[in-house]
Chains A and B, each alone.
Chain A
Amino acid sequence: MFETLTTRRDFLRTGTGLVVSFALAPAVFGAAEASISKVNPKPTDLDHVDSFLAVGTDGTVTVYSGKVDLGTGVKTALSQMVADELDIGFQQVILITGDTMTTPDQGPTYGSSSIEMGGFEIRKAAATARKALLDMAAQKLHVEPASLTVSGGRISSGNRTVTYAELVGGKSFSIGVDSNAAFKAPSALTLIGTSVKRVDIPDKCTGAFTYMQDVRREGMLHARVIRPPAMGAELVGFDDAEAKSVPSFLATVRQSNFLAVVSSTEWGAIKATAAVRANWSGWEGLPEQAKLFDAVRATKSIKEDITSSVGDVQAALKTAATHLDATYDFAAHTHGSIGPSCAVAEIVDGKLTCWTASQSTHALRLQLATMLAIPPENVRCIYMDGAGCYGRNGHEDAASDAALISSKVGGKPVRVQWMRADEHVWDPKGPPTLLDMKGGLDGNGEIVAWSSSLFTPATMGTNVPLLTGMLANSPSTGGIVPGGVTADLAIPYDIANVHTVAHRLESTPFRPAWIRSPGRMQNTFANESFLDELLASASLDPMSYRLEHINDPRGEELLTRLAKLSGWDERPSPRKSTGDVCQGRGLAYVHYDLTRAWVGVVAEVEVVRSKGTIRVLRLFAVQDCGQIINPDGVRNQIEGNLVQTTSRTLMEEVTFDRSTVTSTDWASYPIITFPDVPEIVVELIDRPEEKSFGSGEPSAAVVPAAISNAVFDATGARIRSVPMTPAKVWAAIGDH
């Protein structure tokens, strides 16, 4: 299996003889806490309070969160939740995230679940702990628990006080999490619901923050991976003679089609990589880009997921007075992290430690163990903040690159920093998505039939396969895992006959993964645009129809407030303007997963008919995510979703030839820049008595349809394809 390992020096054989010199010794991160064996065992199951928190002898409370902060501010929000529930100061909370040795496996940080699920679990543990502390204090002070008051981690009865630290400092609670432990009443909260400033921002603004990319280990080596020029190519052979002339070159590592260069310096690794002459076989397994959606449609469906079925759609379509058909498509997208993925791995005494920006360290731990055929208990993954990932980008793959390479160089610490093209070409993609829509209206303009058919990859596995393992032919737990791509295919409207079905495809051109708002973004684009097509055919106002057909008080309040916020002009679309430069407004709404947050957006756009260019002028958004933990944090997420998804909608598309992805950088895969960013107006509906829902995703889902509807309002032309490039818009306008 391990096919080739060439070295220029004998450092691998001597094991400890390597000398790496630096002009100045770089800061070595985490030397003390790195080794697996040096950490005292603590429970990490989801059932015990000690899994989630510990009171220190100094009165600090260390919180262990399986959910990590991907740049969304949850570290601050989770600390607010614990501090409030435990009646301690915000500054007393120390948060440890995503360390598989110490934090519970609360599932990956995805799907807007950090506050909604992760925070809920931690808050339950805190509420249980608070009750236990009160009971302990009551016993110690010989009073009833109900007579005690708590502030700043000090429990008082009259003038007698006992602190949390005195009760359990440095000790365990040894109690289970009480699922019935009551949260504090909203009126008693002092931190939840306030815009506490984010704990990470001062360091991030001054260079004091340690990102994944900044992790350094004593004796650390640098590696770069040489990727196949065609995605399915086989490595026939390689010649690294020239690479050996790079002074810092140490080794070329090969396993099957995985080829990497190791150097004592980072620049040396980059230079040596360019100097390796690799001989790859040809491969042309990708579809022709111009016929991508023909290929998607022609792909075998191995499963039909019917996500909603009401009445008899076929019969209703037959008898409908008006009948509309339309097909929507959404291009393959990259996550587009600004910082390419990076990881550091080292193996000591057969035990692997991996520093990673993975959103899913616990799952990664099992994947790395499988890949290297070592027991999971010998793998520790430690989360370090990376660049925003917006889903499953290349972080996990960089981790497996580093782990595999370290295993080939005697376990020495190895840092793998992906280059820009690694990320753009090789991160798993949001799969190209196709939707066929059919609708019917009766003679009174009432929508009586709604049918949608989604073509999207099947889910076949538990994890996105590690790229390293795919290239190296290593054992894998991975499969096709595109995320929750069928969510929000069903619609929130009261229509008599509805049928929505997902054709789950056996393959998709690129390794797929979830990208922020997976499926909901694509499905809501089709749903909310096609709804406006039906409404336009009956000359109905888009806002009024939705208000009348959602039968959901929170959705109705949201739309009412959105209409007011945006100054909604009640009338049917299109506006029937005639100039070359015309403006329009469009609405889109989603009830996330039909069970979670509510969000609506109105887009105002300007279209130049003769050029087909769209400029998004303003976006108005209203969101109801239940009890808000940190209002400014939620606003920051909504603003980010609106801007990022405007970029996706207007210009983003993975391009490719028959062999590989050709959008390799920011020139070939442009994203929105400052001059084109719209003005954004956000209104939050806070419901302190209600459950909290996540905010990282939902507002992304509504942007493409709001823009499509606004372009239709402005021009009468319907854009059914993302990205809405000038060529597509110009062609659609030409038809009108």
Chain B
Amino acid sequence: MTHFQLSVNGRQEQVSADDPEMPLLYALRNDLSLHGPRFGCGLGQCGACTVIIDGEAARSCITPISSVGEGKITTLEGLGTPEHPSPVQAAFIEEQAVQCGYCINGMIMQATAFLSKTKNPTEGEIREALASNLCRCGTHVRIVRAVQRAAREI
């Protein structure tokens, strides 16, 4: 067993794992009970597991726990709560930009990282920023509207 010190949502957490290659996703979901990041493919293809590490969107399903080091991890829970959502979360709620919602963690995390660097994005830039995040319900047009709304309100 190896002990890993993780900085998650502003707190120091310790997680034990017998394999340093274990993806961060399993530590977040099973050891820290953070269910925002979701298992979608385990291949880095869909984006459902996205977290933000030091300001960059990262696919936690292919990020070995041992590679995170002192990186500051933010999950969906770290952005806000139902009572106090972040601007991006609030925009998704306002636009009702969810169907099953399984991909929405990835959409919100990717959009949050994107908007932290890109002010006043065009619709085309938003679509490109989310191009590697898959949604199966077909909620895309609402998600784009939500990111546009968040961009205006940040």
Contact = CB atoms under 8 A, between A and B. Distances in A.
A451 B73 CA distance: 62
A73 B108 CA distance: 20
Given A639-B138, A643-B141, A671-B134, A666 B45 contact: yes
Contacts of B68: none
A677 B144 CA distance: 10
A632 B19 CA distance: 47
A388 B136 contact: yes
A675 B131 contact: yes
Given A207-B36, A213-B38, A265-B30, A677 B136 contact: no
B108 to A, nearest CB: 6
Contact of B139 (A267, A636, A679): A636
B17 interface: yes
Contact of B80 (A206, A216, A270, A642): A206
Interface string A449-490: 000000000000000000000000000000000000000000
A31 to B, nearest CB: 15
B104 to A, nearest CB: 6
B34 interface: yes
Given A201-B93, A639-B139, A644-B138, A674 B40 contact: no
A238 interface: no
Contacts of A642: 138
Contact of A70 (B41, B43, B100): B100
Contacts of A641: 138
B62 interface: no
A420 B138 contact: no
B113 to A, nearest CB: 15
Given A267-B26, A338-B134, A675 B128 contact: yes
B36 to A, nearest CB: 3
Contact of B137 (A71, A267, A632, A680): A71
Given A205-B89, A267-B22, A23 B31 contact: yes
A597 to B, nearest CB: 18
A665 B134 contact: no
A208 B18 contact: no
Interface string A133-157: 0000000000000000000000000
A417 B39 contact: yes
Interface in A238-283: 247-248, 265-268, 270-271
Contacts of A24: 13, 31-33
Given A267-B26, A639-B142, A205 B85 contact: yes
B35 A211 contact: yes
Contacts of A247: 18
Interface in A335-387: 336-340, 385-387
Interface in B13-51: 13-19, 22-23, 26, 29-36, 38-43, 45-46, 48
Interface residues of B, number: 67
Contacts of A265: 26, 30
Nearest to A342: B39
A420 B19 CA distance: 22
B102 A387 contact: yes
Contacts of A200: 98, 101
A271 B31 contact: no
Interface in A49-80: 70-73
B25 to A, nearest CB: 9
Interface in A163-214: 197-198, 200-211, 213-214
A599 to B, nearest CB: 15
B31 A666 contact: no
A410 interface: no
Contact of B96 (A201, A213, A386): A201
A636 B99 contact: yes
B149 interface: no
B69 to A, nearest CB: 18
Contact of B19 (A211, A271, A337, A640): A271
Interface in B38-88: 38-43, 45-46, 48, 75-77, 79-82, 85
A444 interface: no
Interface in B127-151: 127-128, 130-144
A644 B19 contact: no
A387 B35 contact: no
A270 B26 CA distance: 11
Contact of A23 (B16, B41, B104): B16
A26 interface: yes
Contacts of A271: 19
B102 A388 contact: yes
A267 B19 contact: yes
B114 to A, nearest CB: 12
Given A201-B93, A387-B136, A26 B30 contact: yes
Contact of A338 (B16, B103, B140): B103
Contacts of B41: 340, 420, 665-666
A640 B101 contact: no
Nearest to B82: A202
Contacts of B103: 338
Contact of A671 (B104, B130, B136, B143): B136
Nearest to A357: B100
A674 B140 contact: yes
Contact of B132 (A386, A388, A417, A673): A673
> Which of A70, A198, A640, A641 is most buried by chain B, counting CB atoms within 10 A of its CB?
A640
B142 A213 contact: no
Contacts of B127: 674-675, 677
A638 B16 CA distance: 46
Nearest to A73: B99
A207 B35 contact: yes
A677 B130 CA distance: 12
A390 interface: yes
Contacts of B108: 205
Contacts of A667: 43, 45
B17 to A, nearest CB: 7
B39 A204 contact: no
A333 to B, nearest CB: 12
A270 B30 CA distance: 14
Interface in A384-411: 385-388, 390
B48 A26 contact: no
Contacts of B96: 197-198, 201, 632, 636
B140 A211 contact: no
Contacts of B14: 23
Contact of B100 (A71, A266, A632): A71
Interface in A23-60: 23-24, 26-27
Contacts of B31: 22-24, 26
Contacts of A198: 96, 98
Given A387-B100, A680-B141, A336 B136 contact: yes
A419 interface: yes
A338 B23 contact: no
B82 A208 contact: yes
Nearest to A72: B99
B95 to A, nearest CB: 10
16 contacts: A201-B101, A202-B93, A205-B92, A205-B93, A205-B104, A206-B36, A270-B42, A271-B19, A338-B134, A385-B100, A386-B102, A419-B42, A420-B41, A647-B138, A665-B45, A674-B143
Which 9 residue pairs are nearest across A and B when measured between Cβ atoms? A71-B100, A643-B138, A207-B36, A204-B101, A388-B100, A640-B138, A387-B102, A207-B76, A207-B77
Given A203-B82, A206-B80, A417-B39, 8 more contacts: A26-B31, A205-B89, A207-B75, A213-B38, A388-B136, A640-B99, A667-B45, A675-B128
